[in-house]
Structure 1
Amino acid sequence: MLLMKDEEFQVRVGLFDLLPAPDRRRIIEVRRECVEHSLAAQEELAAAAGHEPWGLRVLRFNIERHRLELAWLDELEAALPEPASRESL
């Protein structure tokens, strides 16, 4: 999936001005699902890493990177306009 690649996702975010808000919201949702899945996998690997210091360092780095991206996704989502309610239609 394209949104799993950092570059593909970042290009889409860079072009958000050209996309309707529902598409922007969906892009963020799909990316969040990808990052959460990857984070869970990295956390499982870290728990099973035992005393492999170098491998554990890589896993911890990736876990922190995923957590930072989730925080950034929260910021992106907060910057989106609120979806129109059914009452206003």
Structure 2
Amino acid sequence: MEIRLSNEAIEWFRNEMEIENGDFIRFYARYGGSSPFHEGFSLGMNREQPHEMGVNVVVEDVHFYIEKSDEWFFNEHNLIVNVDNSLDELSYTYEK
């Protein structure tokens, strides 16, 4: 399992979340909404220090990660992070 981010997604994080070198961005399972794998859960994201990092990718000195305790949510799929230009929001897809 891996995390992949488009250049547009990195730029979105820089502009919208004002990320800086050395920051940690966590993707996590949150209660509410829906996902392709789990009704009642959706993908959340925030800036926080890791406790037990499971999957990690470093892009431009920023760590994007998933905690071990949240790996179940992705059902052994890669997380692809892009930007929906019509909404100017992040979009997520999952790839086996």
Shared fold (TM-score, shorter chain, > 0.5): no
Q: Quickly name the TM-score band, shorter chain normalised.
A: under 0.3
Report which of the two has the higher share of helix. 1
The structure with more strand, counted as a fraction of residues: 2
The TM-score normalised by the length of structure 2 is 0.23
